[in-house]
Chains A and B, each alone.
Chain A
Amino acid sequence: MSARERSPVLPLRLEDVSVVRHGQTLLDRVSLRLEGDGRTLLLGPNGAGKSLLMRVCHGLLAPTAGRVMYGASSLRTVEQRRRLAMVFQRPVLLRRSALANVLHALSVHGVPRRRRGQLAQEALALFSLQHLARRPARVLSGGEQQRLALARAWALAPDVVFLDEPTSALDPTSTQAVEQAVDRFRDAGVTVLMATHDLAQARRLADDVLFMCGGVLLEHTPAEAFFARPRTPEAAAFLRGDLVTGPFPRLVERLEEQCESQELDALQR
C-alpha cells in the first residue's frame, strides 16, 4: 500500500476539466481526486461521459479546458505514461498469438528483451491463459480476449489501471472470470478505476463510487454510503433503475466508440 502512495502519478487530479465538441459540452467542469486505494467504480447511464472521462484521465484526450495533474506535475512524461494502463470495452488485439500480444506491449514499454518472455508467461498464467499462449489471439472467445487484455495491462506493472466497461459485452460466466481478474489488480495494490453501467456489478466490486450524469460529476462517495443514501436525485433515480440514458448518448458514443482519427487529432496535444 505504501509503495503505491509513493507512485509518481498519484494522486491523479482533474481540475475543472471540460470537453467541448461540436458546440456540445460533453464533460462539464469535472474535478476529482484519485488516491491510491482500492477500486473506484465510475457509474452513470449511457452517454454520461464515462468513457470520455477515462480517456482524459489516461491522457488519450486533451481536455478543452482545465488540467489533469499526475502526482505533483501536470506534464505527462513517457515514464509517467507507462504507469497508466487502460483496458477498453472491446479488446483490441494484434493478429498474432496471445503471448506475442503481451510481448509486444512489453516491447513498446521498453522492457529489455531478456525479461519479456518471463513477464509475459507470468501474466498469462496469472489470468489462466497459459494454455492459450500460442493460439492466435483473435480466435479466442470474448471472455478470453478480455482476460488477455487484462493480462497485457498487468504485465506492464502499472500504478493505475483504467477499465472501460470491460464486461458489458460478455456473458455472466466470462463476466465473473473478468471480475476475478480485476481482483488481482486490487490485491496487488494497483489503483483501479472502472466504468460500468451495471448496478449489480458496482455493488459487488466498488470501494468508492464516482457518479456521472450528462457530463457532470455528481457524486464521489464511498460505496456503502452511495448505495444506501445517494445525495443527488439523479443518483437516486439511477439506483431505482429509472435513469438509463443521458442527454447526449449518440454524440458521445460516436466519439467514444469510433474515435475518428481527425477528431482524435484535434483533441490531442
Chain B
Amino acid sequence: MRITRIGRFTTLIGILMLAMSSAAVAAGGKFITLASTTSTQNSGLFDYLLPKFTEKTGVEVHVVAVGTGQALELGRRGDADVLLVHAPPAEKKFVNNGYGIDRRLVMYNDFVIVGPDSDPAGVAKADSAVKAFQMIASAKAPFASRGDDSGTNKKELQIWKAAGIKPSGSWYRELGSGMGATLNTAAGMDAYTLTDRGTWISFNNRQNLKILHEGDKILFNQYGSILVNPAKHKGLKTDLARVWHNWITSDEGQKVIASYRLKGQQLFFPDAR
C-alpha cells in the first residue's frame, strides 16, 4: 500500500518533469548564438532587430550579452557562432590570430562623458574629450570606470592614454561592472563616467548626472560583425550565422538599423560597405 502511494506520487512528478523538459527541447528549432555586448543589448536594438530578422529568415538569434573581452573569448572558444562587438583593435587582432573570418563594418554610435550637475572639474568647458579627462584628473574628481575590458572600457583607456595620464588614486574607481551598474554607481557617487549614448538614453536612474561633453571624433564607436572561424571548432552553425552576417550588412538590414529609435532618437548609424 505504501509502495503504490509512493509509486503514484513519483510517477506524477516524473511525468511533470518530462513534460516540462520536452517542452524545452521542442522549442529548439533553428538558432545561432550571437556574442555581443551589454551596452548593445541595453540599447534595445536587439529587441527591435531580431524579430524582423527571424520573421524574414526563420532563424532565431540567441544573444549572449557580456563585456567585449568576454565576447571575444566566447568567439575564441567557439561558444558563439558570430560576434557583434565594438572594439576595432581587438577585433583585428582576433581575426589576425585566426579566430574569426570575414570581419565587416556594420554601424556606429557614439560615447558621451556624463557627470554631476555641479561639474567640479569644469568639464562642460572642455573643447575635446582628451581635455575633459585631463581636467577630471587634475581636479581629482571622482570617476567611475567600468574596469571590465569592455569596448567602453577600452575606449576610456584609449582617451586616458591620449591624455598622457595613468589614472590612479582614490578618485578613480574601477568597478568591474556593466554600463548600467557603472551609471548607477556614478549617479550615487556624483562621479564622472564615460558611457555609450544608447545606454544613457534608456538609463532611468540619472539623479544628478547629465551629459557634459559629446561629439568629439575620438568618442566614435564602430561596430563590427565577425564570423567565428569554423576551422577552429567543430559544430559551429556557420551557415546560419552567415545568413545573419549577410543580412545586417545588406541594404535591408542596414535600413532596419537606421530606423531604430530610442525615445525618439536615432542611436545607430549604418556604415557597412
Residues of chain A having any CB pair with chain B under 8 Å: 96, 100, 103
Contact = CB atoms under 8 A, between A and B. Distances in A.
A103 B2 CA distance: 10
Contacts of A96: 2
5 contacts: A96-B2, A100-B1, A100-B2, A103-B1, A103-B2
Nearest to A107: B3
A99 to B, nearest CB: 8
Contacts of B1: 100, 103
Interface string B1-17: 11000000000000000
A100 B1 CA distance: 8
Nearest 5 pairs of A and B residues by beta carbon:
A100-B2, A96-B2, A100-B1, A103-B1, A103-B2
Contacts of A100: 1-2
Nearest to A104: B2
Interface residues of B, number: 2
A18 to B, nearest CB: 43
Interface in B1-43: 1-2
A100 B2 CA distance: 8
A96 B6 CA distance: 14
A96 B1 CA distance: 12
A243 B1 CA distance: 51
A167 to B, nearest CB: 30
Contacts of B2: 96, 100, 103
Contacts of A103: 1-2
A229 B1 CA distance: 55
B1 to A, nearest CB: 7
Nearest to B2: A100
A102 to B, nearest CB: 12
A27 B183 CA distance: 81
A100 B5 CA distance: 13
A106 to B, nearest CB: 13
Nearest to A117: B1
A96 B2 CA distance: 9
A103 B3 CA distance: 11
A155 to B, nearest CB: 16
A219 to B, nearest CB: 47
A75 B2 CA distance: 35
B195 to A, nearest CB: 62
A103 B1 CA distance: 10
A241 to B, nearest CB: 48
A103 B4 CA distance: 14
B215 to A, nearest CB: 76
B50 to A, nearest CB: 55
A157 to B, nearest CB: 22
B36 to A, nearest CB: 56
A215 B39 CA distance: 84
A96 B3 CA distance: 12
A14 to B, nearest CB: 39
A160 B2 CA distance: 30
